[in-house]
Amino acid sequence: MDPLRIGIAGLGTVGAGTVEVLQKHGALIAARAGREIEITAVSARSKTLDRGFSIEDFDWYDDPTLMAEAENIDLVVELIGGSDGVAEALVENALAAGKHVVTANKALIAHHGNELAALAEKNNAALYCEAAVAGGIPILKSLREGMAANAVTRVYGILNGTCNYILTEMRDTGRSFEDVLEEAQKLGFAESDPTFDVDGIDTAHKLAILSALSFGTKVDFDGIHIEGIRAIASIDMEFAEELGYGIKLLGIASMNDGVVEQRVHPCMVPIDAPINHVEGSYNAVVADGDFVDTVFLEGRGAGGGPTASAVIADILDIARGARVPLFGVPVAQLANTATRDMNQHYGAYYVRFNVVDRIGVFADISRALADHHVSMESVLQRSRDPEQIVPVVMTMHETDEGALRNTIEQITAMDAVVEPPVVIRIETF
């Protein structure tokens, strides 16, 4: 069979890793693909940067979007990143020209996945993005193919290694969020602008893709409730442990009675739950299918090697002739499902108020809870020095989030409550 000829746009860590793996394992990969995978063209910002291989063997493109017109490219690997701009133009043009596309770009697929998947179908091109979610973990393939006999009811995971690293360090060392973030930035584990990671946006990009694939619904990034980890204090880590929980930033999507709920926020998870054992920069995804029950996958969520591994798995699939739609079924068959508003979310909660310790405060708080029919499960208070500011921690039995928010609003308005409370949802997997 003819070689599959690929053009790689973007030669950062993942792009350079992809070239490295294809060169090192050329024979192995050809045996598995049943044909050669040949890099014919590359594009990057710098032509002169030393990446450990010679770019002389490949056609060079200053403008990657021109790869879409190249006669000697069957498949474009988009590793530029960003939800719009050059990456979007390249993928659109390549698909429109009938070229296959493999991308690691979660923002692009989260924002434009429906249109791009439809464009791919229209032009009989394959579009895959395994590397966009959870790096080296073959989670999209597992959902799309391995669990294809199931109606998936829930999918959730630790999808951002930076946040998981920060939370793990906070737990293990007792240090503050800011402190650990700064260190992570110095070590290169966090970006200089950490917004996408620590504010949950990166996790939400990935969750949007998981959700569409799991439930056969259109990608709906805007339907995701997103909170990051900036508000978590080391004292919350201590309280969590005392209550038998760990704190993880999770992306959670579930399908109940035809309504999808998509949310990204810090969660308290049982200390013994498998997801709580996912440490440092690892990622993990848990999927519940109605026949297979629960499947749990864990591995490296980032890095050149793991991400290149996922990119090449997609390339290999295409080389072997796979043409499964990006989201498991053709875009025309994806449902336009309403997303549940977070006020309708039903769950348990951890709430930490900072209050001035004086007589009657607790009675006022208790009355506010009762007024809104919110049922307290437990309360923890660290110290009792009159007129000092003390943390009061409560866990609430399952309740509607709307009721909880109204309660908290009422409590926060009290004179003795000195800061906005920290609210962490409790998940019992």
| Nearest to a copy of itself of 239, 327 (CB atom) | 327
Distant-in-sequence, close-in-space partners of 393: CB < 8 Å, separation ≥ 6: 239, 243, 350, 351, 352, 379, 380, 381
Distant-in-sequence, close-in-space partners of 422: CB < 8 Å, separation ≥ 6: 231, 232, 233, 236, 350, 351, 352
Candidates 4, 8, 11, 29; binder of a copy of itself (CB under 8 A) is: 29
Give me the torsion for CA of 299, 303, 304, 306, rounded to 10°: 0
Burial class from Cβ neighbours inside 10 Å (0-12, 13-18, 19+) for residue 32 reads middle
**Buried/exposed 367-400: b ≥16 CB within 10 Å, e otherwise:** ebbeebebeeeeeeeeeeeeeeebbbbbbbeebb
Q: Which of these ranges, 196-204, 236-244, 295-303, 420-428, lies near a copy of itself under the rule CB under 8 A? A: 295-303
Give the residue among 215, 204, 206 at the shortest CA–CA distance from 328.
Answer: 215
**Shortest distance (Å) from residue 65 CB to a copy of itself:** 26
CA 136 from centre of chain: 13
Candidates 2, 293, 385, 387; binder of a copy of itself (CB under 8 A) is: 293
Neighbours of 244 (CB within 10 A): 10
**Shortest distance (Å) from residue 277 CB to a copy of itself:** 6
- 206 is known as an active-site residue: yes
Q: Which of these ranges, 67-75, 197-205, 294-302, 379-387, lies near a copy of itself under the rule CB under 8 A? A: 294-302
- Using the rule CB under 8 A, is 291 a contact of a copy of itself? yes
Strand 376-381 to strand 259-270: parallel, antiparallel, or no bridges (unpaired)? unpaired
Using only C-alpha atoms, the chain has a radius of gyration, in whole angstroms, of 24
- Using the rule CB under 8 A, is 49 a contact of a copy of itself? no
**Shortest distance (Å) from residue 161 CB to a copy of itself:** 12
| Nearest to a copy of itself of 29, 365 (CB atom) | 29
Contact 275, 284 (CB under 8 A): yes
| Nearest to a copy of itself of 3, 146 (CB atom) | 146
Helical packing angle, 26-33 and 304-319, nearest 10°: 40
**Shortest distance (Å) from residue 45 CB to a copy of itself:** 24
Q: What is the DSSP letter of 339?
A: B
| C-alpha to C-alpha distance for 341 and 251, rounded to whole angstroms | 16
- Using the rule CB under 8 A, is 397 a contact of a copy of itself? no
| C-alpha to C-alpha distance for 278 and 271, rounded to whole angstroms | 11
Contact 72, 40 (CB under 8 A): yes
Catalytic, out of 99, 106, 206, 248: 206
| Nearest to a copy of itself of 329, 376 (CB atom) | 329
| Nearest to a copy of itself of 86, 324 (CB atom) | 324
Contact 392, 381 (CB under 8 A): yes
**Shortest distance (Å) from residue 173 CB to a copy of itself:** 18
Helix (H) or strand (E) holding 393: strand 389-400
Map residues 101-140 to x or -, x wherever contact with a copy of itself holds by CB under 8 A: -----------------------------x-----xxx--
Map residues 177-216 to x or -, x wherever contact with a copy of itself holds by CB under 8 A: ---------------------------------------x
**Shortest distance (Å) from residue 104 CB to a copy of itself:** 13
| Nearest to a copy of itself of 309, 339 (CB atom) | 309
Map residues 139-168 to x or -, x wherever contact with a copy of itself holds by CB under 8 A: --xx--xxxxxxx-----------------
Strands annotated E in 36-111: 37-43, 59-61, 75-78, 100-103
**Shortest distance (Å) from residue 316 CB to a copy of itself:** 5
H helices of 25-105, in order, are 26-33, 85-96
**Shortest distance (Å) from residue 312 CB to a copy of itself:** 4
Q: Hey, which residues between 296 and 335 contact a copy of itself (CB under 8 A)?
A: 296-300, 303, 305-306, 308-313, 316-317, 320-324, 328-329, 333
- Supply the residues annotated as catalytic: 206
Using CB under 8 A, list all residues that contact a copy of itself: 17, 21, 25, 28-29, 31-33, 130, 136-138, 141-142, 145-151, 216, 274, 277, 289-300, 303, 305-306, 308-313, 316-317, 320-324, 328-329, 333
